[in-house]
Structure 1
């Protein structure tokens, strides 16, 4: 005989005296994570463990406080770590397509940027003043006078040589020309030369060619003189420029004296200025030269691009990148329009989250990361190589073949924390060998924790902290008890509490709304219940429609009387934010044959694999129990009546078996009881999911059609600990109007449904006469005989 569950057994209440306070306002806020000891131990190990590959993958369901816990733990740990260096990019004067990366102690990056900004803005006036000074003019004039004297001497010697040969040297559009002269020393025109006798013209040409050869030799010192002029002027200009910029540059050099990288960079800056001093001297060269060219800015190359500024940090950085696209994670080189042309340079290198997190911790939601196909490979490459590269996104995709920037990679040393669900972790672990080497630590956040006194007390303190933080009304002891009870319902276990604190917080926020509207000082149990009722009402439209169809008789369901081969099964339907139980009529038909148990749902391609497995188990049960003396010969069909959306799961397998046993035995079964539970081949009823929703779904249908006082549900005995029924059902059970029966075996269930003993097996393989098993076995033996008659 199955003993009915009492109202205390179907919901574990939380007495108000559990809390040693009148309201959560009297408690101290919780400053620690609750119920995640396993995850926290793994997380603490992974974050503190050095060595390559000990990055952390955090799994668990959203709402368990994963993100908040991780960020708080990281910030606490980061505060004990040293502040990482700043990162700047500067011009590479040897190859401007590959900017140089400089690392400086925290705060020094900003100082270098400001110092170079001031330097760049000062050198133009300084150089202009130096080159416009009288001292420079005198030195230049002295140099030019010396050169001019040497040039005049060379020109005089050439003129003397030409006059001796009857020529004079005259300038022309293509250089110097030798022109013959007459006896009076006047140059002859081309017309006069043409009127001369041919023999004389020929002689003049021969003399000119001979003289040109001598003049060419005489002009060679002039070419050397030009080079000498250029060299001396350039040396003088470098000397003057170096002297002009020295006061500005030496101050920066002394500021960064211990840093060899900065000293080398400053030396390159000095050399570049001295080599391009004319850019500062000639104002016209500041403007665009030929059409389509980008105007030259002589000081642009001396600015510093401060990519990462850690001057305000008080420890290592902690960066959460919620949108981990490739550019946002690894940085990018932007472009700007100049005179209709898109150009870029080192000043347009922008950092990514990996740059800002370098030397600290980087947190990435893994499912969002896979929306960008390049990120995962880029992240693995960065971790494996220990180098962070900033590459143009389009170039990495192979879309750009024009020249672009390739900034110098920087050393990457950050702990990576990935946030994902268990399914993603399993896929990566099994499909990507690199993942196992790079993410060796798994921190798994649980969705439940034990319902112990210390955890209940922590729950109340969490609520206190939430109310203080968000300015909500505090909860009185009755509301705290209601939250604890509902948390056990969320966990589907009387001995557990849910750790999905985000959902608990939403309940309190909504209850606060109703409390404020009422004008009460504290949130009470009635406000929590109102919130739950209102939230259900907002989402249960489909449930209401199905109940209306049942009440109208459109969907057939009997909740009273007895019938052969027919039972009420329970399933759970979900509309996304709301799950509810739906009772369904399950029928069985039996005939002579050898097909065995046939699943009509599968024949119609509406049954899932788990449901098909359940049907196969029924065949195993029938063979094990009744086919000991004769072969199992039957053709049975099972179906969910008026089911049009497909069936999966094995939670109705016990219901299907009861219907089949009823049909075989000819014994009618109770229609006022709805049934749930899976079954194994030995006839043991096994636990199922959604037991609360299933029971409450049938209760709602009974309410609509009329409570008779005998109605109830048969649930697996192993599911009793999962019962956390809502108050209305508990009250009906307390009043004796609704009943819950825990079933451990099929024999217990069939006795409850038929009122007939199941019967025990005898040594000869038969059962007690008149029992359910006896009637079923005789029917099967009779069917086997008929099959043999037709197919001897």
Structure 2
């Protein structure tokens, strides 16, 4: 500021000298002081006005200089994105912000004052200012020539919705717009997003987050933790982005039906249902697809090429897995494993290509690794621990056929089914049911026997008898109705005291009309009884009785086919109970009077 000092004859006066002046001199000095102070005020006001105007001119000049430096870049952006109001709005805001913060772009080498708290993040000068205007490109589909297709294998909430990342520094967390990361919905916007339904449901908040995006048609990045904090914290809140992605959920029918039953939004959001068939027709086109599958796997995994006979054997294995002579299996996991292992054995043998023998070798080795339980049960049958007869005839006793499913391996083995009758009114007693070892389907099959007996033999006189049916030496659960015909034959044999052939095994379900119905696992059952007969000695009379409708499902092992063609083993097909009784007893079934 300016300080005024009293003077006389050009010499400053001290306070004592001023007090010694006469009143007239003091009055003259005071008047001069007032006049001088007024002129000083006017002068200072003029100087400040000049400084203000000069500062405005300097700022205007700075802005002009800045615009001369970058204005043409902004103008080109305005021209390129003129059709996008949000982009041009952002560019206008950017231009305004740059001009308001022009001083921060000066790089004159001067350093600011030391930062008072060195452990906290501090400004990097011009570089830190430039970061403010960088573009955080979330998704770049420039190289795509089609709509995006995104497969998210780990559908967590943040992976599908996006996230805001934080930097930890000395116990504090910091973030900015450059830490916003895109989710699967951002990458799939305008295209399709494929998610595994089970994985989606297992991840907390992911399923609800997906539904919210589909219902609102916008992608909102929200921090999950905010829902559980007592106090809301200040953080970034990105603007919602319009969503137009199609979501494809992959899962099992069980998950589909659960969601459809218990989630009211599911049917509203997912309108199209597509199911993958477990089998397809055996056509030339589909056989070619099998060959392409084998070739593509060999190319992808660097396997040896397959000869035509090897591909033919793989196609035959596809028919076997489908259990149908005119269909091919479409669950390719087992087939791909077979192709991979066949390639291994061919390479180990030093071959240049995989042939049918290598495929057979792979099947043999796979069986060897997994057939422990089959061999163990077979050894118990051989040493008599499990009672199975493959010769002779017995009353009320017959060989049934069962499939043991170990999850990764299944095999068939015979089981002895017995029936006993006695005086009483109990009717047919299912011992498996009474022991709580029978499944619902098995119990249903036994009840059907009662309906058949009533319709066939009790039209004039009520049947009064007691009978029991049992799977001998069965200590685990029994389910399925494929043994209902076996139980019926054993029961009729016990009632009539007519023996049944023990060199035959029977499978097939029966209805109340006495018709034999198809069953599953027919190949495994036939092969299981064949192996048992082979172990005990083939007589040339042994065989199996199967439903006639299962003839189309026969895809048997080469050894079994050879034994049948040579007359060492037999396969009989029946359509009715009477046909089966004729084969098992050697007697023609009678007609009701």
Q: Select which of 227, 245, 257 maps to 2:66.
A: 245
- In the alignment, which residue of structure 2 is the partner of 1:215? none
After alignment, is 518-527 or 747-756 more displaced?
518-527
1:234, distance to aligned residue in structure 2 (A): 7.0
Over 3 Å counting, the alpha-carbon distance change for 1:692 and 1:586 in structure 2 is same
Structure 1 residue 387 and structure 2 residue 215: aligned?
A: no
Distance, in Å, in 2 between the alignment partners of 1:704 and 1:230 is 114
Distance, in Å, in 1 between the alignment partners of 2:230 and 2:291 is 57
Distance, in Å, in 2 between the alignment partners of 1:400 and 1:599 is 67
Over 3 Å counting, the alpha-carbon distance change for 1:609 and 1:688 in structure 2 is same
Q: Select which of 75, 85, 91 maps to 1:266.
A: 91
Distance, in Å, in 2 between the alignment partners of 1:224 and 1:635 is 125
> Could you say what secondary structure the match of 1:569 adopts?
strand
Q: How does 1:677-692 map to 2 (within 5 A)?
A: 677-692=508-523
- In the alignment, which residue of structure 2 is the partner of 1:699? 530
8 A Cα contact 1:238 1:274, kept in partner: no
CA deviation profile, 1:613-641 (whole Å, cap 9, x unmatched): 11211121122222222333333222222
1:678, distance to aligned residue in structure 2 (A): 0.9
CA deviation profile, 1:631-655 (whole Å, cap 9, x unmatched): 3333322222222221111111111
> Could you say what secondary structure the match of 2:418 adopts?
strand
Structure 1 residue 669 and structure 2 residue 494: aligned?
A: no
Structure 1 residue 295 and structure 2 residue 122: aligned?
A: yes
Over 3 Å counting, the alpha-carbon distance change for 1:345 and 1:567 in structure 2 is same
Q: How does 1:399-414 map to 2 (within 5 A)?
A: 401-414=232-245
- In the alignment, which residue of structure 1 is the partner of 2:575? 744
> Could you say what secondary structure the match of 2:377 adopts?
helix
Distance, in Å, in 2 between the alignment partners of 1:220 and 1:657 is 125
1:371, distance to aligned residue in structure 2 (A): 1.4
8 A Cα contact 1:335 1:348, kept in partner: yes
Q: Select which of 268, 272, 295 maps to 1:437.
A: 268
8 A Cα contact 2:156 2:206, kept in partner: yes
Q: Select which of 569, 584, 593 maps to 1:753.
A: 584
CA deviation profile, 1:497-521 (whole Å, cap 9, x unmatched): 2233443333233222222333344
Gapped regions of structure 2 (runs ≥ 5): 20-39
Distance, in Å, in 1 between the alignment partners of 2:467 and 2:372 is 37
1:708, distance to aligned residue in structure 2 (A): 2.2
After alignment, is 713-722 or 550-559 more displaced?
550-559
Over 3 Å counting, the alpha-carbon distance change for 1:647 and 1:400 in structure 2 is farther
Distance, in Å, in 2 between the alignment partners of 1:639 and 1:222 is 122
TM-score normalised according to structure 1 size: 0.65
- In the alignment, which residue of structure 2 is the partner of 1:12? none
8 A Cα contact 1:392 1:405, kept in partner: no
8 A Cα contact 2:136 2:177, kept in partner: yes
Distance, in Å, in 1 between the alignment partners of 2:545 and 2:239 is 70
- In the alignment, which residue of structure 1 is the partner of 2:373? 542
Over 3 Å counting, the alpha-carbon distance change for 1:491 and 1:227 in structure 2 is farther
Distance, in Å, in 1 between the alignment partners of 2:502 and 2:327 is 34
8 A Cα contact 2:63 2:102, kept in partner: no
8 A Cα contact 1:237 1:277, kept in partner: no
1:301, distance to aligned residue in structure 2 (A): 2.2
- In the alignment, which residue of structure 2 is the partner of 1:658? 489
TM-score normalised according to structure 2 size: 0.85
- In the alignment, which residue of structure 2 is the partner of 1:360? 191
Structure 1 residue 578 and structure 2 residue 414: aligned?
A: no
CA deviation profile, 1:152-173 (whole Å, cap 9, x unmatched): 3xx54xx78xx9xxxx9xxxxx
Structure ranking higher on relative contact order (CA contacts 8 Å, 6+ apart): 1
What RMSD, in angstroms, separates the aligned Cα atoms of the two structures? 3.3
Over 3 Å counting, the alpha-carbon distance change for 1:752 and 1:294 in structure 2 is same
Distance, in Å, in 2 between the alignment partners of 1:234 and 1:747 is 114
> Could you say what secondary structure the match of 2:550 adopts?
helix
- In the alignment, which residue of structure 1 is the partner of 2:76? 255
Distance, in Å, in 2 between the alignment partners of 1:285 and 1:490 is 78
8 A Cα contact 1:677 1:687, kept in partner: yes
8 A Cα contact 2:120 2:169, kept in partner: no
1:336, distance to aligned residue in structure 2 (A): 0.8
- In the alignment, which residue of structure 2 is the partner of 1:190? none
1:434, distance to aligned residue in structure 2 (A): 2.6
1:285, distance to aligned residue in structure 2 (A): 5.7
- In the alignment, which residue of structure 2 is the partner of 1:512? 343
